[in-house]
Structures are given as C-alpha cells and as structure tokens.
Amino acid sequence: MKISTKKTFHRKRRSVRTRAKLFGTAERPRLSVFRSNNHVYAQLINDETGKTIAASFDVAVGAKEKTRTERAEAVGSDIAKQAKKKEINTVIFDRGPYLYTGVVKVLAEAVRKEGLLF
C-alpha cells in the first residue's frame, strides 16, 4: 500500500470512529473543526435539522498574518462568542479525522477559555 493511500485510509477510519459517537442537537450542537495547511475553520452544527448555527474561520476573524496556532486560538474564541450570543452553553467537540494535538488542541482550549463547555 502506498504511503499516501495508507494515510488517507487511517484518516478516514479516525473520522468514521469519532463521528459515529457524536450527534449535535439544538441545545447542544456539534463543534466541528477543519484545518487545512493554511487555514482553520470551525462551525456549530445542529444534526437534527442539518443546519449550521454559527461558523468562523481565520480570515474572517482577521488573523491573517499570525501563526497557525494563534489563528486557531482566534477562531476558537470567536466561535465561542457566537455561541454565547445564541445562548448556547455546551457543545459536543468533533475533531473529525484530526488528532487532538497542535491546532485542534489550541482551538479547543480557546473555546473552553471563553466559557463554552464540552
């Protein structure tokens, strides 16, 4: 098996394993994280209706010239503030296929720092 195929296989398996256990509701939406090589995105999703409640990414926050971890922290605090405005106090954290290190961990800690629980 090629290295790239093997990486994709393991990423897909991690994603299926984490998403099988998570389901967002209107009272407790799912906080989904996506990271690319350059950017960080987060969104609150109500899985009952299939709607996105709030979304944030690093360009919209204005953290364009910072490091990836600083951008992830800005996105985390922004999505937590948006959730507080919509009177959401708890969320279910969905890291997707990503390991809980680096940018994903920084984003989660920023969300917790703003007072959003999961």
Q: Is the pLDDT of residue 14 over 90?
A: no
Cβ-contact 42, 57 below 8 angstroms: yes
pTM for the model stands at 0.85
Question: What's the pLDDT band for 17 if we cut at 50, 70, 90?
Answer: confident
- Specify the number of domains making up the chain: 1
Give the domain range for residue 83: 3-113
**What pLDDT score does 42 carry?**
97
In a domain, 105, yes or no: yes
In a domain, 118, yes or no: no
**What pLDDT score does 63 carry?**
78
Q: Is the pLDDT of residue 24 over 90?
A: no
Q: Which amino acid does the sequence have at 34?
A: F
CATH number of the structural domain spanning residue 97: 3.30.420.100
pLDDT in tens, 88-112: 999 999 998 998 999 999 999 999 9
